[in-house]
Chains A and B, each alone.
Chain A
Amino acid sequence: GQSLEQPSEVTAVEGAIVQINCTYQTSGFYGLSWYQQHDGGAPTFLSYNALDGLEETGRFSSFLSRSDSYGYLLLQELQMKDSASYFCAVREDDYKLSFGAGTTVTVRA
């Protein structure tokens, strides 16, 4: 079977930095994606790591270590609009994405 572990909740103040960790155990691995979902909305794509290392996109960065089956999403200069659920997702094969249970990020003023 497959499992993805990520913290259930994180709270931080505006301007702070938050790191959301994701460890995975899956039958196959092509890459690790991160999605953001605001309450009741559509998940939106943030980043994809197929190779080890850090990918930076504006205030968000994502890291992958394939040997450790581990990745993280780094949110910098937190803003109120970043309050949302964040999901890590493993692409196990050509077609299937397997998602974690999600991390709820709450940003306080």
Chain B
Amino acid sequence: DAGVTQSPTHLIKTRGQQVTLRCSPKSGHDTVSWYQQALGQGPQFIFQYYEEEERQRGNFPDRFSGHQFPNYSSELNVNALLLGDSALYLCASSLGGGASDTQYFGPGTRLTVL
């Protein structure tokens, strides 16, 4: 049973560039949430996707956008990269995304912006 997978593992970009990160949820899961984790901090909620729609969004600017595909996989896009966007980006999957669900995290994509 495959867990949550993310690609790429590491990425280096320069300021102003755009980046796309990918996530495949755990088998049987239909909900994908994205988090940003700065060094030494806890994950911060970016947004959640369910049925190909953004269901809720955290306190992140419009430069952060996403997409969910019919097979439940998801992409996170970040435009006009800033140095402060350097972080570990985590994808978490769950079933239904309800209040008592358990979220399963992927290993993350380490983004470095130079």
Contact = CB atoms under 8 A, between A and B. Distances in A.
Contacts of A56: none
B99 A97 contact: no
Interface residues of B, number: 27
A98 interface: yes
B61 interface: no
Contacts, number: 62
A102 to B, nearest CB: 5
Contacts of A59: none
B100 A97 contact: no
Interface string A88-106: 0101011111111110000
Given A30-B100, A94-B98, A95-B97, A100 B108 contact: no
Contacts of B42: 4, 87, 89, 99-102
A96 B48 contact: yes
Interface string A62-104: 0000000000000000000000000101010111111111100
Nearest to A6: B42
A43 interface: yes
A4 B97 CA distance: 22
Interface of B: 4, 33, 35, 40-45, 48, 55-56, 58, 88, 90, 97-100, 102-108, 110
